[in-house]
Chain A
Amino acid sequence: MTTSPMSAPAPAPVRESARLVAGRALGWLRRHCELGTLPPGTTAELAHPDSIYKPLGETALAASLVLREGPASDREAKTARELLDFAWWELRGGDMLYERQLRYMMMTDPLELYTHFVRAGYRHARLDALLEHLAGLVTVYAVEQVPNRRLAIANAARLMGIDRDIDWKRLTDATWLGNTPEPWVIDWMTAYSVTHTVFHITDWGARPHDLPPRVEEYLHLWLPVWLDVWREVEEWDLFAELLIVGACLGEPYLDPAAWDALAAAQHEDGLVPRDGKEVDEDPAQRFRDHHHPTVVAAVAGTLALSRATGR
């Protein structure tokens, strides 16, 4: 059986596309980070944690992974460090995380955000003590969460060295992905759950062989289809998250054409649009709308570059 000859030129090697995407995305995050500052007087209550606070954590995640994986250049190392310093400053050197965790014991975002800084060498002694204390309580294991969120907490606890009796198999089996279900039933929201299940089990690609073999095999089988479907409808944020999944597998799945598509969707200035809709011209709105996919692209590019040796 033959297929039609490809008329498009051969895609660039993944290393090239990934380096381009990550470098441009990181630069954009650095040039625009000041659009994501917390208003003066912000306290730990945070009426809108998703607006500035969580994006600071996402920036820190991307920058910490750049440093963990070994940056492509000295310039990128400097940029990553500056982004972490900026976000840490905004969080008042960790005081904000400490106050929020102390006030809201059941919330897990302070722990999760903190781990991105810990990964890059930042510590806050009182927060360390608080997290150690909370890890000793029964309640943290009984918090009602959807399964992939439980994995997020487990990974954060593992990074902090406060994980006790975490049954990774049980946590994995409880997720949608862990059940390796009918691949044609997946929807947009569940696709995000799948990506995060993989991120947390593998600690963002640091432990690719922690994925159960049957899950790895399932992803190798269906990831190409999901990438194809969400590329077609230009859901770039989810598409880039799925590319991270490919880079987190024991045997990485790095499709040069998919990487070409992400590089083509990225704007010259490094912004990666969240979808195919028009991008607002107002800088603040652009930042609000497209900060997340640009972070995701920086992470995806960083991890793919790291794992694309010879590809």
Chain B
Amino acid sequence: MPNPDVSPRAAYTAAVESLADRVLGALRGAEDTVVVAHHVDGAPDPKAALAAVRVLGPDVFAPVLLGTGSFGPADVRVVTESFRIFPPAPDATPEAVWRDWTTSRLLVRYGGDDLLGAPEPRSLTDGDGDGDGDDDEQADSPWRAWSLRMARLSPLALPGIDGPVHEAADRRCRALARGATRAMLRRDYPIAACLARWLACARLRGTRPDLDVAAMVRHIELHGVGGARTALDTAIARRMLERADRTERPGGPTP
């Protein structure tokens, strides 16, 4: 039952932190790998718990995609239910549309039977007119706006997912590195962690970033700010970098 002493907003925030913490636990090898279903089953406020599933989006698949967890029928049911209670908003931002679309596609991959009403995202080059050309250094910091947008798309930065967003991240790895550096210098560690995820993802996909992403991730972790979501971002980045290391090492196993 919802606690009447806790505001809905606080309850939702707590639920998001709690779910992020569970996903993080699964990444670190916790025994309970039925992350999503158990999160809702044991929640003090089931509706807030379902909202958290929607907020984390593709991140709830991180353990299974990184090989440290599973995603079973009970989890599928919970994600389906979360879309029923909180359907995609018609006026959702393009980033939210991409997150929902990715979640729905992953759900189908792991046993879901429909796309949950998630609309297909617009082509990345549609719309606002600035295009997706290579980073033009002399223009007015296109890397800054673009990297902030990619930070909002960071739940897509996972292994085993591909698409135009990932291709753009590979192509514009330099803009991501600039955005990550800017966030570090502004001590905005949550944004830095989101962008470190993309840099790690690009590395795993065979692009070599212009900076040492592992060092950046370690530094963000040592700051220990941003709560469970930032911890989850750095943990995912770390796993992808480890996987990239194994791939790049001569004779190392292929993931």
Contacts and interface: CB of A to CB of B under 8 A. Distances in A.
Interface of A: 1-6, 11, 182-184, 186, 220-222, 224-226, 228-229, 232, 253-257, 311
Contacts of A184: 180-181, 184-185, 192, 211, 216, 219
Contacts of A221: 174, 177-178, 210
Contacts, number: 82
Given A225-B181, A229-B182, A229-B185, A2 B140 contact: no
B252 interface: no
Interface stretch (B4-12, B44-52, B73-81, B141-149): B141-149
B141 A1 contact: no
B178 A2 contact: no
A1 B181 contact: no
Contact of B137 (A4, A220, A226): A220
Contacts of A183: 181, 211
B31 interface: no
A11 B138 CA distance: 12
Range, interface on chain B: 35 or more
The 6 A-B pairs of least Cβ separation, nearest first, read A184-B184, A2-B128, A3-B145, A257-B140, A1-B132, A3-B130
A4 B140 CA distance: 12
A119 to B, nearest CB: 30
B215 A2 contact: no
Contacts of B174: 221
Interface string B65-108: 00000000000000000000000000000000000000000000
Contact of A255 (B129, B140, B181): B140
A6 B216 contact: no
A10 to B, nearest CB: 9
A238 to B, nearest CB: 13
Interface string B145-175: 1100110000000000000010010001010
A224 B141 contact: yes
